[in-house]
């Protein structure tokens, strides 16, 4: 079967979509399929080490794919004040208020041209469009797949019309257009997939679809083999590690920072010689000021690493005493990091903002997870439970981590996609 995957983000970008589809594409090649990928980056087409043919078409405007590679700082240093700073800020705010459908809008025209040319030349069996960002689905819609006898698979990583934080665009200006275009995408697709059952129900309700028409394909685990832990001395600080991207309104660190402050105070009373560090791997976005506002003792315990390579992130997870997940302020999304955390077999501190957070169900059978609800606050009993969990967390049997790695492996996820490719007939 010949496939074209349309994804704004692809390896070497450090994004969940890039990780997922690089692994799926490689697995599909191993299963005998001819796989092409159209992504946003400068460079000539070529077959990569996994046998995937990668076509790179640069975003005309912002080249956003280049901003999610290793070496990106956690938060850019604030430039000096003055009229230039205010002008840049004003231009940025105006741009964000006007672009559509999202930050990747500069990719729509060149990618659509490339997709049409490739479809005419290669006669693909399927075009698979990928979000986030939604621009990938817009390219899929405009590629006119059905005119060439090609089927169209829409793989939804994050909602678009139904997503308000972080908003893909100016909802006040484009809310009606977001719904209209996403409705066309959903109606025109020969197959649809999402990553959680809650997202499946959300789309079924809002777009009038039978739930069974939307397949749930779970997150994919794309970690390399785990390295051995780094040797440590007994007097080193307890190491808490968070991996991911922060957003003030979707995934705020505020409750985590409060937990750290409470934990420091509790340890100072019961274990005065025990110190704790909290490491952040990923971008802080609009949350940098929340770090700056912390008390000095908390700030001294924070270590921000920015965007780093997968190998460094995996080593950090292996070396952590406790891994930290911050749930989304959305019941339609499950952070892929939760799966990676379980696969590493480390204790997980899970911070949620509401009871229906998808991470709660994902971690229900995991033997070393402590879930704290933001709205419940930090009572003395909660702080005591947090202290005991950090000091003496339950062990995770190797078989548990192995089962997670198998369930969410590239082979299992690619098999699910392949079964849909094989079973879905072209609509008349």
Could you give the C-alpha distances from 348 to 216, 264, 366, 404, in angstroms and in order?
Answer: 25, 18, 9, 14
Nearest to 132 by CA among 111, 153, 97, 101: 101
Q: What is the full DSSP assignment across 362-403?
A: HTTT-SSEEEEEGGG---HHHHHHHHHHHHSPPP--HHHHHH
Domain ranges of the chain: 2-92+101-220+410-423, 238-407
CATH of domain 238-407: 3.40.50.2000
| pLDDT score for 75 | 52
Picking from 17, 13, 10, 8, the residue whose alpha carbon sits closest to that of residue 220 is 17
The encoded tokens of residue 119 equal 């479809």
CA-wise closest residue to 166 among 103, 248, 101: 248
Q: What is the pLDDT of residues 243-294, one digit of tens each?
A: 988 887 778 888 999 999 999 999 888 888 888 999 999 888 888 888 888 8
Q: Which residue matches tokens 């979000």?
A: 131
Strands (E), 7-142: 34-39, 46-47, 53-56, 126-131
* Mean pLDDT confidence for 37-41: 89
**Looking at the domain 2-92+101-220+410-423, which fold is it?**
Rossmann fold (3.40.50)
pTM of the entire predicted model: 0.78
Predicted confidence band of residue 427 (pLDDT cuts 50, 70, 90): very low
Q: Do the domains spanning 2-92+101-220+410-423 and 238-407 agree at the CATH topology level?
A: yes
Q: What is the pLDDT of residues 375-392, one digit of tens each?
A: 888 899 999 999 999 999
Residue 422 burial class via C-beta count within 10 angstroms: exposed 0-12, middle 13-18, buried 19 and up: exposed
Distance CA 120, CA 114 (A): 10
Residue 330 has pLDDT above 70, yes or no: no
Average pLDDT over residues 168-183: 90
């Amino acid at each position: 079967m010949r496939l074209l995957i349309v994804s704004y983000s692809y390896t070497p970008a450090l994004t969940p979509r890039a990780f997922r589809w690089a692994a799926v594409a490689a697995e599909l090649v191993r299963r005998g399929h001819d796989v092409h990928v159209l992504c946003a980056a400068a460079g000539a087409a070529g077959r990569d080490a996994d046998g995937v043919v990668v076509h790179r078409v640069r975003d005309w405007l912002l080249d956003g794919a280049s901003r999610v590679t290793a070496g990106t700082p956690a938060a850019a240093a604030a430039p000096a004040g003055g009229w230039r700073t205010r002008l840049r800020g004003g231009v940025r705010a105006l741009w964000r208020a006007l672009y559509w459908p999202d930050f990747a809008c500069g990719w729509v025209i060149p990618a659509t041209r490339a997709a049409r040319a490739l479809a005419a030349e290669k006669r693909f069996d399927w075009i698979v469009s990928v979000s986030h960002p939604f621009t990938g689905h817009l390219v899929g819609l405009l590629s006119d797949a059905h005119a060439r006898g090609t089927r169209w698979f829409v793989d939804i990583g994050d909602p678009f019309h139904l997503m308000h934080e972080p908003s893909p665009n100016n909802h006040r200006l484009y809310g009606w257009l977001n719904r209209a275009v996403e409705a066309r995408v959903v109606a025109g697709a020969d197959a649809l997939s999402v990553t959680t059952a809650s997202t499946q129900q959300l789309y079924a309700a809002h777009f009038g679809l039978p739930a069974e028409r939307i397949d749930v394909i779970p997150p994919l685990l794309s970690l390399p083999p785990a390295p051995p832990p780094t040797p440590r001395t007994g007097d080193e600080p307890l190491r808490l590690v968070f991996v991911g991207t922060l957003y003030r309104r979707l995934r705020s660190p505020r409750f985590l920072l409060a937990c750290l402050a409470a934990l420091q105070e509790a340890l100072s009373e019961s274990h005065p010689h025990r110190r704790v560090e909290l490491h952040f791997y990923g971008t802080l976005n609009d949350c940098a000021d929340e770090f700056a506002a912390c008390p000095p003792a908390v700030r001294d315990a924070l270590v921000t690493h920015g965007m780093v390579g997968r190998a460094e992130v995996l080593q950090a997870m292996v070396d952590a005493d406790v891994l930290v997940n911050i749930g989304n302020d959305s019941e339609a999304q499950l952070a892929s990091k939760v799966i990676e955390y379980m696969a590493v077999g480390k204790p997980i501190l899970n911070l949620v903002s509401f009871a229906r957070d998808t991470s709660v169900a994902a971690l229900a059978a995991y033997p070393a997870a402590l879930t704290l609800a933001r709205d419940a606050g930090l009572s003395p009993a909660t702080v005591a439970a947090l202290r005991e969990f950090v000091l003496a967390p339950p062990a995770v049997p190797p078989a548990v981590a192995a089962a997670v790695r198998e369930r969410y492996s590239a082979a299992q996820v690619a098999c699910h996609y392949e079964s849909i490719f094989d079973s879905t007939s072209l609509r008349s």
